Structures are given as C-alpha cells and as structure tokens.
Amino acid sequence: MDVSDLLTSAGINIAICVMLLSLYSILRKQPGNACVYFTRRLVSEPVRGTGDISCFERFVPSTGWIAKAWQATDDEILAVGGVDAVAFMRIVVFSIRVFIIAAVICLFIVLPVNYYGQDMQHKEIHSESLEVFTIGNVKEDSKWLWVHCLALYLISCSACVLLYSDYKSITKMRLAHITGSPPNPSHFTVLVRGVPWSPDNSYSNSVEQFFSTYYPESYLSHQMVYGSCTVDKLMKDAERMYRMLKSIDPRFLDRSLPYCIPGGAAHPFMVLNLRADSVSSSTSMDRLQSSQRRKECPAAFVFFRTRYAALVAAQVLQSSNPMLWVTELAPEPHDVYWSNLSIPYKQVWLRKITTLIASVVFMFLFLLPVTFVQGLTQLEHLDQLSRRVPFLKGILKQWKFIHRVVTGYLPSVILMLFLYAVPPTMMLFSAMEWNISRSQRKRSACIKVLYFTIWNVFFVNVLSGSIIRQLTVFSSFKDAPTQLARAVPTQATFFTTYVLSSGWASLSCEIMQPFLLICNFFRKFILRTKVEPSSCALPFPHHTEIPRLLLFVHIGFTCSIMAPLILPFLLVFFFLAFLVYRNQILNVYVRKYESGGEFWPIVHNSAIFSLLLTQVIALGIFDIKRSPVATGFIIPLILLTLLFNEYCRQRFSPVFKMRPAQILIEMDQQDEQLGRKEEIHNQIRSAYFQNPIISHQVSINSNLPLSRNTSHHQGDEDNLHGLKSLKPFRNSTRSIR
C-alpha cells in the first residue's frame, strides 16, 4: 500500500464521520428522538422541549454537543455515571496523554530516521510505499537504531508514570466511594452458596441454625434464594405487559387487535385475570408454604450486624468441605444476577471449563474471516486481483480507485462487521459461567472480548502471512520475537486502516445509536405511541467499549517506534472518543449499579502486556538489524517494567478485590455513635428483592429476631395479599381497552 491508498481510506472515513456527526447534531434536536439521545435525562429528570428552537435551526448541523461534552468536569461525570464512568474516561485520557508524548518523539525523531534509513532514490510522497516509513527501511547495523531504543525508553517510562498516577487516583476514588456513600446493604451482606440439604430441615432453617450457632453475636437474619414458579412468571409477564401497553395509543390498540374484544373468549387480558383470580382463590397458606419449600435454592443472603463481621464471614473457610457453606461478599442489590443463584455450586467448575473450551473454539473458528481479510490485504498488484477474480479484470484496469478500496478499506470493514458478533457471544459465555452479579458478568465478558480481539485482530493478522505460507512461525518459541519483529512492520498499514475504519466509524455509529433510532421510528410511526418509554434505558456497555479502547492502545504501543505514521490517526480516534463517550455518559446511558471501578486492574494489566510485547518485539528487531548493544539495553527495560507491574499489583490490586477492614470498622463505629444502627438493620433486611411476591415479604417477615420460626407462615399470608396486587393491572388494562 502506498500513501495514496492510505489517503483514500482516510478520506472515506472522514466523509463518513462528518456525515454521521452532522446527522446526529440534527437528529438530537428533534423532540421525537429524546428517548434515543437523552435516555438518562428522561429517566432522572424531564427533558425540556425544543419550542425555543426555530424550525430552521432544528435542521442545521451544529457543534453545541461538542462544547458541552468538552466542558463537563470529572465531578459531573462522577455524579452521573459513578466511579465506573470516571475510570472509563481515564482510559481515554491516559491514551491521549501517552500517545501525544509518543507522537512528538516518533514523528519528529523516529520517522525521519526510518524514511532515510536506506540509500535509495525516493519517489514523490503520494507514491511512496508505507514501508519506507517503518523501521524495516533502516539498514542493518545502523547507528541510528539508538534513536529507536531511546524513544522506547521514553515512551515506556512515560506510560508507567501515567499508569501509576491513574491507578492511585482510581484507588482513592474507590475508597472514597466506600466511605462517602450512604450505608450500602452489600457491606453488611454475605452470599452463602452450597448450603447442604437436610431431610429434616429446609434450607432456610439450616442457614439460620448454622449462622446463629457459629456467629451468635453478629448474625442478624437471612433471606433465601428461590427458584422461579408460576406466580413469579405471572407477575413478571403482567408487569412487562403493563409497561408496554400503557404507552400505546388506545385507538391503535382497538384497530390492531380486533379479536381482543372485552368479553371475548380469546381475550388475553381476561385469561390473565382468570389465572390471577384462580391463583388467588385456590392458594392457601399451607400449599404456598410447601411450594416455597420446594422452590428454595441452596443459596441465601445472610445479613450481619456490622460491616466487619460480614467481611470476616466472607473471607474465612466455613466448613472442612470447601464445596459447602461457600461465602463471599454480596454484590449490590441492583447488581445481583438472580437467574444464576439457583444453580448448584458444584456445577461451577464444570461451567467454567465448558465456557473456556467454547471460547477457545470460537476464537479458532474466527480464523476463517481473518484469513479471508488477510487475503485481501496481500493483493498488492492489479494482476493478482484479476487472476483471483477474473470478471473484475477489465474494471480494475480502468479504475485504480477500486483497487485502493479493496486493498486499503474493504479488509478492515469486513473484519469490523465480523467482530460485532463477538461481544454478545462472550456475554452469553459469561452468563453460563455462573457469575453472581451483572458487573461480574460484564467484567468476565470484557476479559474474554479483550483476549479475543487482541488475538484475532493483532496476532492472527500479524502472523497470518507466515502461517499460511510457511507454517513455521511457532516452530521454536525462542524465535517468536524475531518472527514478530519481521511481521509487525509489514502489517502496520493494515492496522492504520483498521484504526480508520473500525475506530472512527465505530465512534460515529456509537453516537448515532442506529438500533435505538430504528426502534424509536417503529414505535412512533407504526405503533403510534405518545408516552416516551423510560424502561429501555441501558447501562454503559463496558464489555464492548473497554476492549475496543485497549485494542487501540495495544496497537499504538506495538507500532509506535516501528510504524510511527499510525500515531496521528490514533490521536484523532482518542480525541473523538473523549467527546463521544462523555456525551453518551451525560445523556444516554443509565447507571444501574456501581462496582467502584473494579475493571481498572484489567486496564492496567492490558497496558503492561502491551508495553512488554512492544519491548520484546524491539528486542527481536534489534537482533535482526544486528545491533547487539541496543539489544542489551532492552533487557533491563523489560525487567524494570515487570518490577513496576509487580509493585502496582502489591500496592493497589488488593483494594479492588476486598474492602479494607480499617475503613469498615471506622464506619461501624461512626454508625454506633450516631445511633443509626437499628435504622440500617431495617433497611438491609428488605434490600434484596428477588421478586415482588415472595422475596419482598419473606425478607421482611422472616428476619424478625423474636419470631424466626414463624417467618414462613407470615410470609405466606403476605403472599396472598401480594396476589391481590394484580387488581390494579386489571383495572389499567380495562382503561386501555
């Protein structure tokens, strides 16, 4: 690929970005798109109308959203999105800072050395091959290789300093979140799994007997985890139907559902009402009690009187059998992934192995599209392309522009389209792993997607030419640095176009929200709804966006001194990401739970891995270029990077795994001094709602300390009252009709 091909790809992507961003600035001004581009504000506060905007201004592109996103402070991001949002934006800020340093060093020092590394007659700039701008153009045993060694030292030291600063800052924010937030029920709660079955006692009685015996002073109460039953499904269906139908125009409902006539035999709402009435009339306390006992799962949330007691109970081994009475700190109530809690704990290891095998198989199956993409990037001449696709021979001879699109733009687009199927698949695998919280599921999916993208986008594309043609890349592990050193500079052009297509265009699609925009159009003009829905608000997709950013960080580090021409395109991507993601956090995504920035160690470890890989590749390059002195200076840099990573792991990583006992004890003492312990205990008893029928009432009544043995009977009686809550839904459906 030459410079003109790169400029063609850049021009296409710049045109797409400008068009989509301009279209977004118009669509966000339309009142009917408020539920797409202001979802978070719709949920938290009413969105002002656009009556003060003239009709002409509503259809003219503007840059007002850019100014608002740029002027937003970290305190505003923290108030809106929490620590997770601030930590995510720190990834973008870290990338901007480190690659500005790398761009200044590499573009003004390393790039001229690469360009004039060989004694050759240079062509015009637009006709030059991109390989002359890489380190592969430097002749062997050149004294200018010291420039690359010095540049790598400066980039590595700058990255380590910025990583340490951000790790320290995120750790402080996490601790401030623990101490500064209102009393969190998860601090007093321990999730117990693997409760042993007893023919004489229910799971609930076993949990109560165990913790009241071994934790008599600190045990407060507990709440069992129940499996799904008919009543639960009925209530969930009723609530879902009510949310969906309350926003539909009644006139459309009458026209589109002619067979749903009140009094008709097939009316679905009457069937629902009859089911509810039959359940309410035929359910007795004894039958509901036995039904609950059958539906009890060997898992429970155990509440303790102090935070420190819950921390101790979560860390110690409860039984001589590690598969029984397994305890860990409970996630936040809104973060609980209820469907996984009913799975027996003994299946965890089997599920983890199964998902690991499935993930590996999926990674290798993805080699097929990657091989096809690499086949396109290897078409360097028109005659090669015409031999492979004969009917294109006449077209390609006339239009060289098509050749530039096929070799410079099309491969990245095809790979990007295939990659869209990866996050949903990895999210499914993470759900099968039996993660107990939504944040854990996203964090697990984030790691899987990160490994997948780095392997398939970077390593497979770098080594595919050698694998397909020679099959000798992994013949010797010690030769891996040399193989990577030969392959990375040759694939730098593909990574540059990948940054343009998958980077710039994906950010434009992210801010456009095409799927939600289509759904909103269908709802407005097909279903003819009038009320803006607020139940479709989505949390921030960390499992897709974090791997995307870290992949570009990885590409930036590995190509910085070898192909510096990629750095300006990376900086444009990260500056655009800074504006787009800030806008999305402020206006679109809703915070449904808070993990306190628990995914930041993933970011740190990924950055360290990218640095180490860059240094290993540089080691191989200096060996190929026969510069033993420069090679010797890279080895201490690798050791220093490993020592820095180990220090950060010892200094900061434990804070993200466990809560400090010192802080929890001080918070317990403060609660006791203020006399609010009873209030906190009443709150945590009713914090974890599994469903509106069983969990809410049982969690309240089963936790009375003086009448624990009668908790189930009282909860059953309240369940009968809970069934009567279907009546407001019946009234609402009649009003809709």
Question: What is the DSSP track for 387-454?
Answer: HHSGGGHHHHHH-HHHHHHHHHTHHHHHHHHHHTTHHHHHHHHHHHTT-SBHHHHHHHHHHHHHHHHI
Q: How many CB atoms lie within 10 A of CB 515?
A: 10
Region of poorest pLDDT, from 397-406, 563-572, 615-624, 637-646: 397-406
Q: What SS3 class is residue 87? A: helix
Q: What SS3 class is residue 718? A: helix
Question: Residue 180: what pLDDT?
Answer: 83
- Average pLDDT of span 659-663: 92
Question: Residue 381: what pLDDT?
Answer: 45
Alpha helices in 106-144 (DSSP H): 111-115
Q: What SS3 class is residue 624? A: helix
List of residues 6+ apart from 10 with CB closer than 8 A: 500, 569
- Average pLDDT of span 21-41: 87
| Beta bridge partners of residue 296, listed in sequence order | 226
Please provide the CATH number assigned to the domain covering 186-247+293-331+666-694: 3.30.70.330
Strands 189-193 and 326-329: antiparallel
Number of H helices, E strands in the chain: 36, 4
At 534, give phi and psi (nearest 5°).
-115, -5
Burial of 441 (0-12, 13-18, 19+ CB in 10 A): buried
CA distance 684 to 562: 56
Question: Residue 16: what pLDDT?
Answer: 87
Q: What SS3 class is residue 304? A: strand
- Average pLDDT of span 625-632: 84
Condensed to tens digits (0 to 9), the pLDDT of residues 366-391 reads 777 766 666 555 554 445 545 555 65
Q: Measured at the alpha carbon of residue 649, what is the angle toward residues 648 and 653, in degrees to the nearest 5?
A: 105
Question: Residue 509: what pLDDT?
Answer: 87
| Per-position DSSP letters for 180-218, written without gaps between them | HSSPPGGGGEEEEE-PPP-SSS-HHHHHHHHHHHHSTTT
Question: Contact at 8 Å (CB) between 655 and 636?
Answer: no
Question: Contact at 8 Å (CB) between 332 and 253?
Answer: no
Question: Contact at 8 Å (CB) between 564 and 133?
Answer: yes
List of residues 6+ apart from 652 with CB closer than 8 A: 167, 168, 171, 601
Q: Model confidence at 261, in pLDDT bands (50, 70, 90)?
A: very low
Q: What SS3 class is residue 545? A: helix
Question: Residue 700: what pLDDT?
Answer: 40
How high is the mean pLDDT of the chain? Answer: 78
Share of the chain above pLDDT 70, in %: 72
- Average pLDDT of span 582-600: 91
Q: Measured at the alpha carbon of residue 351, what is the angle toward residues 349 and 355, in degrees to the nearest 5?
A: 120
What is the distance in angstroms between the CA of the first residue and the CA of the last residue of the chain?
Answer: 65
Share of the chain above pLDDT 90, in %: 37
User: Could you tell me the two tokens for 56?
Assistant: 């002409």
Q: Measured at the alpha carbon of residue 325, what is the angle toward residues 324 and 326, in degrees to the nearest 5?
A: 95
Nearest one of 73, 24, 80, 77 to 537, comparing CA atoms: 80
Nearest one of 679, 729, 724, 722 to 697, comparing CA atoms: 722
Q: Which residue is associated with the tokens 């592990």?
A: 477
Q: Measured at the alpha carbon of residue 649, what is the angle toward residues 645 and 655, in degrees to the nearest 5?
A: 150
DSSP state of 106: I
Q: Model confidence at 526, in pLDDT bands (50, 70, 90)?
A: confident
Q: What SS3 class is residue 538? A: coil
Condensed to tens digits (0 to 9), the pLDDT of residues 48-78 reads 554 455 576 788 888 889 999 999 998 999 9
Q: Model confidence at 405, in pLDDT bands (50, 70, 90)?
A: low
- Average pLDDT of span 509-519: 88
| Per-position DSSP letters for 685-696, written without gaps between them | HT---S-TTHHH
Question: Residue 399: what pLDDT?
Answer: 53
708 has a pLDDT exceeding 90: no
| Beta bridge partners of residue 301, listed in sequence order | 191, 223
Q: Model confidence at 498, in pLDDT bands (50, 70, 90)?
A: confident
42 has a pLDDT exceeding 60: yes
Condensed to tens digits (0 to 9), the pLDDT of residues 225-259 reads 987 655 556 556 666 666 555 555 455 444 444 44
Give the pTM: 0.81
What residue type is assigned to position 396 of the chain?
L
Query: For the chain, which residues make up each domain, given as ranges?
Result: 3-183+369-659, 186-247+293-331+666-694
Nearest one of 297, 306, 292, 291 to 192, comparing CA atoms: 297
460 has a pLDDT exceeding 70: yes
Question: Contact at 8 Å (CB) between 641 and 608?
Answer: yes
User: Could you tell me the two tokens for 89?
Assistant: 């934006």
735 has a pLDDT exceeding 50: no
Question: Contact at 8 Å (CB) between 377 and 411?
Answer: yes
| Beta bridge partners of residue 303, listed in sequence order | 189, 221
Nearest one of 703, 593, 662 to 302, comparing CA atoms: 703
Strands 296-304 and 189-193: antiparallel
Region of poorest pLDDT, from 233-247, 319-333, 444-458, 473-487: 233-247
| 134, 291, 579, 688, 716 from 288: Cα distances, Å | 73, 5, 54, 21, 6
421 has a pLDDT exceeding 50: yes
335 has a pLDDT exceeding 50: yes
List of residues 6+ apart from 233 with CB closer than 8 A: none
At 286, give phi and psi (nearest 5°).
-65, -45
332 has a pLDDT exceeding 70: yes
Question: Residue 273: what pLDDT?
Answer: 43
CA distance 108 to 523: 54
Q: Given strand 219-226, what is the order of strands in its sheet? A: 219-226, 296-304, 189-193, 326-329
List of residues 6+ apart from 416 with CB closer than 8 A: 498, 501, 502, 505, 506
CA distance 688 to 223: 8
CA distance 640 to 156: 10
SS (H, E, C) 555-612: HHHHHCCCCHHHHHHHHHHHHHHHHHHHHHHHHCCCCCCCCCCCCHHHHHHHHHHHHH
Q: Model confidence at 571, in pLDDT bands (50, 70, 90)?
A: very high
Dmax over CA atoms of the chain, in Å, equals 94
Q: How many CB atoms lie within 10 A of CB 130?
A: 19
CA distance 552 to 609: 13
Condensed to tens digits (0 to 9), the pLDDT of residues 471-493 reads 444 455 567 778 888 888 888 88
DSSP E strand boundaries for 254-385: 296-304, 326-329
| Dihedral angle sign, alpha carbons of residues 381, 384, 385, 390 | positive
Question: Residue 61: what pLDDT?
Answer: 85
DSSP E strand boundaries for 468-523: none
278 has a pLDDT exceeding 60: no
Question: Residue 70: what pLDDT?
Answer: 93
Q: Which residue is associated with the tokens 């009393």?
A: 183
User: 542-559 and 422-432 helices cross at what angle (nearest 10)?
Assistant: 120
DSSP state of 48: P
Condensed to tens digits (0 to 9), the pLDDT of residues 95-104 reads 999 999 999 9
